[in-house]
Amino acid sequence: MAHEQVESRLMAYGHTACAGCGEAVAARTVAEAAGPDVIIANATGCLEVFTTRFPRSSWQVPWIHSLFENAASVASGIEVALKALGRAGEVKVIAQGGDGATADIGMGAISGMLERGHDILYVCYDTEVYSNTGYQRSGLTPLDALTTTSPAGAMSWGNATRKKDLPAIFAAHGAVYVATSTAGFPTDITRKVKKALSLAGPRYLQIHCPCVAGWGIDSSKGIRLARIAVNSGLYPIFEMEEGVLTRVRKIKPDELLPVVEYLKEQKRFSHLFKSPGGRDHIEAIQLAANSNIERYGLMT
Amino acid sequence: MREMMEGSSAVAESVALCRPKVVCAYPITPQTHIVERLARLHAEGRLDAGYVLAESEFTAASVVLGASATGARAYTASSSQGLLLMTEVIFNIAGMRLPVVMTVANRAVSAPINIWNDQQDSMSLRDCGWIQMYAEDVQEACDMHLQAFRIAESLNIPVMVCMDGYILTHATEPVDLPSAGEADSYLPPFEPRFHLTPTDPMTLGAMAGPDAYMEVRMLLHRSMQQAAGTIRQAAVDFHEMFGRYAGAQLDTYHADDAEVLLVSMGSLLGTMKDAVDELREEGHPVGIVKVRTIRPFPRSELHDALHRARAVGVVEKDISLGLEGILCSEIRSAFCGAAETPGISSFVAGLGGRDIRKEQIKEIALGLLSDNTCRVEVTGLDHEVLWRAHEEE
């Protein structure tokens, strides 16, 4: 990579993320797409920890971290203050956090932010696990995934629940823009951040981010796996405006992959391949992917 | 000009005079009338601020945190359960050195659920890094808000203005509010020392490891310890401008020659003063020390104010369960290492809105006059109920 390119980063290099971290790729892409005239409110989590160990910071934009569950509320305060001080035109506001901060502990705060109609883009970096605290299950952990709090055993096939459908929940709040994206396709992130920031009102972007340690994958494989998640239908990439589905990332027929190609590369799904009963579970995951393809029209 | 006003309305008008740029709160009894009045002022165009209706106290505190970090003067109000729900943010606001001001309408803490007054809620949060001030009457509560913003912004330490729920929030008293111009000359516009802006991007709320955390916390501790001068100056300047003085960190009443000194915070001081007036008429050398700020704790001032007495009775509406009244424990610490120490006793009273009568205060004072032995008592209990519960156990 060219040196000048590195120097221009608004989320600078030198942070302490794991090699191959999908969240680092996604967050840097978001920052670059947003540009320097932005204030970021960050939830507690990996991104906060690996970018701001005192006395260093990766952030070349104004950035605040308060707590785990209140990034949306802090951003609400920032947005209202900017308006009250007559500075609203000069800067955009982004709130961001991981899947735990977004789907679980901070969801009420996001609900309030959306309901009040703040001019804020909320970005969820969905690693599908509490990465920062050591890979515990979150509301966005997929079915059957192993985490440190959803282990497999005689009585368990891993995580017993499906991913919470946050885009639908947040679209139902009246968010003007709701979209999913993936670290697998950074240009898609860039386009969506720019589009989201061109709109006014509450917006939500959920980005699928491979977590090397949490998923049990080789650090070189995250981006490829993120793309398979898309091309198998497991992680549909779409945009909703005013609650209506307006655009999806199509899966070309020759790109379509079975979910096995995604699952077999990850230790968090390894138990599904070790005993005969796993076949039914893989089949159920395949059916969920098929259902996504149908629901979002990913191939039509 | 003095005008009859309900405590909450008067406080809301005072807050508006402070010209906050962001107000955010969540309703809880008995704080509600304050935020309702502010909503009305906002609706009528008399409060030029962003007024945010939060979905919880947790968010209300987080919104004012974000607003303050953006450089806006920010205000919230809460009570009891709401204050406790805010706790995580309360610590955070102080740690981030954001000069937020909050009104606490003091109320008991559940369980059992109880909406009436005591001071358990804010007293339980005395270690969170906020300056805590307690108002004796509605006028002082009003004046305290102007002082609070000045203190908070000059020290970058948030301030809680505590006023007894119902007893002050819902009481109608004559109040003298300053004009907008007078308020402006006492409290100039907020000039933040730092704020979030792209022209000077900074990272706020970074993680500090074992190599840095203690120093950051000690800087806040030291600022708190050095806050006495700022608190005093705010009170002195206020006195000069408005002619009213209710003490800085302490105030005294008939204290100079008193053999027994009663200590308390908040509206109970009114009842106490009546009791002391009567005791004085009867010839008893009893006086009062009013504690106006529990944080920073005026340790040496308290020592100096109390050390000549034979007995000190700390009457308070809170308890550290398993120990005694919280303020009493702290006052004992003011005499650590002192050669001569008055007998310091704890009197817990008025929990959950139980009435504290003048006669009770007189009984406490007379009891201390005849016996200065240190003791811990809970006054106003129905012993029959306790005895029966004990029997059933």
Say what the pTM is: 0.97
Choose from A61, A80, A197 for mutation: most chain B CBs within 10 A: A80
Q: Which two tokens stand for residue A240?
A: 């909703």
d(CA A222, CA A232): 15
Query: DSSP assignment, residue B246?
Result: -
Chain A residues in contact with chain B using a Cβ-Cβ cutoff of 8 Å: 36-39, 41-42, 48-49, 52-55, 57, 59-67, 69-70, 73-78, 80-85, 87, 90-91, 108-109, 111-112, 115-116
Residues B307 and B179 in one domain: no
- Beta bridge partner(s), residue A152: A157
d(CA B87, CA A247): 43
Closest CB from B56, B63, B207 relative to A80: B63
d(CA A49, CA A59): 12
d(CA A134, CA A124): 19
Q: Which two tokens stand for residue A217?
A: 């994958």
For residue A102, what is the enclosing H or E element? none
Give pLDDT, residue A8. Answer: 61
Residues B168 and B256 in one domain: no
Residues B199 and B290 in one domain: no
Give pLDDT, residue A5. Answer: 52
Question: Residues A79, A106: contact at Cβ < 8 Å?
Answer: no
Task: Quote the Cα angle for B347-B348-B349, to 5°.
Answer: 110
d(CA A221, CA A265): 9
Q: Write the DSSP string, A48-82.
A: HHHH-BTT---BSS-EEE--SS-HHHHHHHHHHHH
Query: What residues in B contact A40, CB-CB < 8 Å?
Result: none
Give pLDDT, residue B235. Answer: 98
Residues B277 and B158 in one domain: no
Closest CB from A57, A81, A111 relative to B66: A81
Q: Which of B317, B341, B322 is nearest to B331 (CA)?
A: B341
Residues B277 and B173 in one domain: no
Residues B269 and B123 in one domain: no
For residue B315, which amino acid is it?
V
How many CB pairs lie under 8 A apart between chains A and B? 156
Determine the average pLDDT of the residues in A240-265: 97
Residues B215 and B318 in one domain: no
Residues B224 and B254 in one domain: no
Contacts for B39-46: CB closer than 8 Å, 24+ residues apart = B41/B12, B41/B13, B41/B16, B46/B16
Give pLDDT, residue A2. Answer: 46
Q: Is B352 part of any domain?
A: yes
What's the total number of domains in chain B?
2
Closest CB from B55, B70, B209 relative to A78: B70
Query: DSSP assignment, residue A10?
Result: S
Pairing of strands A121-126, A92-98: parallel
| The domain made up of A3-295 is a member of CATH 3.40.50.970 | yes
Report whether pLDDT(A3) > 90.
no
Domain CATH number, residue B28:
3.40.50.970
Residue B60, CA distances (Å) to A124, B317, B393 in order:
22, 27, 43
Pairing of strands A244-248, B22-25: unpaired
Query: DSSP assignment, residue A104?
Result: I
Determine the average pLDDT of the residues in A56-70: 97
Pairing of strands B203-204, B159-164: unpaired
Which residue of chain A comes nearest to B97, CA vs CA?
A66
Residues B275 and B373 in one domain: yes
Choose from A40, A48, A67 for mutation: most chain B CBs within 10 A: A67
Closest CB from B22, B49, B55 relative to A77: B22
Question: Residues A124, A207: contact at Cβ < 8 Å?
Answer: yes
Task: Give chain A's end-to-end CA distance (angstroms, integer).
Answer: 38
Q: B138-155 and B228-242 are packed helices; what angle lies between their axes, rounded to 10 degrees?
A: 130
Give pLDDT, residue B369. Answer: 98
Residues B17 and B149 in one domain: yes
Give pLDDT, residue A7. Answer: 53
- Domain enclosing residue B334, as ranges: 250-387
Residues B255 and B232 in one domain: no
More confident of the two residues A1 and B98: B98
Measured in angstroms, the CA of B219 and the nearest CA of chain A are apart by 16
CB contact under 8 A, A74 and B64: no
d(CA B37, CA A103): 35
Measured in angstroms, the CA of A278 and the nearest CA of chain B are apart by 42
Choose from B24, B204, B216 for mutation: most chain A CBs within 10 A: B204
Give pLDDT, residue A1. Answer: 43
- Rounded to 10 degrees, the C-alpha dihedral A71/A74/A76/A80 comes to -160
Q: What is the largest CA-CA distance in chain B?
A: 70
For residue B44, what is the enclosing H or E element? none
Determine the average pLDDT of the residues in A202-219: 98
Measured in angstroms, the CA of B22 and the nearest CA of chain A are apart by 6
As a whole number, the mean pLDDT across chain A is 96
Annotated domain spans of chain A: 3-295
Residue B378, CA distances (Å) to A257, B122, B346 in order:
74, 20, 8
Report whether pLDDT(A33) > 90.
yes
Q: Is B392 part of any domain?
A: no
Query: DSSP assignment, residue A134?
Result: T
Choose from B196, B197, B213 for mutation: most chain A CBs within 10 A: B196
Measured in angstroms, the CA of A265 and the nearest CA of chain B are apart by 34
ipTM of this model? 0.96
Q: Is B393 part of any domain?
A: no
Give pLDDT, residue B81. Answer: 98
Sign for the pseudo-dihedral over CA of A173, A175, A181, A186: negative
Residue ending a domain, among B216, B240, B264, is B240
Cis peptide before B296 (omega within 30 of 0): yes
Query: What residues in B contact A16, CB-CB < 8 Å?
Result: none
Q: Is B245 part of any domain?
A: no
Residue ending a domain, among B188, B218, B240, is B240
d(CA B42, CA B60): 17
- Beta bridge partner(s), residue B344: B312
Which residue of chain B comes nearest to A60, CA vs CA?
B201
Question: Residues B318, B348: contact at Cβ < 8 Å?
Answer: yes
d(CA A66, CA A48): 10
Closest CB from B49, B88, B198 relative to A37: B198
Query: What residues in A contact B201, CB-CB < 8 Å?
Result: 36, 59-63
Residues B296 and B229 in one domain: no
Residue A108 has φ and ψ, to the nearest 5°, of: -60, -40
Give pLDDT, residue B393. Answer: 82
Give pLDDT, residue A6. Answer: 52
Using only C-alpha atoms, what is the Rg of chain A?
Answer: 19
- Ranges of chain B with pLDDT below 70: none
Share of chain A above pLDDT 70, in %: 97
pLDDT tens profile A171-185: 999 999 999 999 999
Q: Which of B14, B20, B9, B108 is nearest to B63 (CA)?
A: B20
d(CA A205, CA A189): 9
Residue ending a domain, among B206, B240, B274, is B240
Domain CATH number, residue B313:
3.40.50.920
Determine the average pLDDT of the residues in A102-121: 98
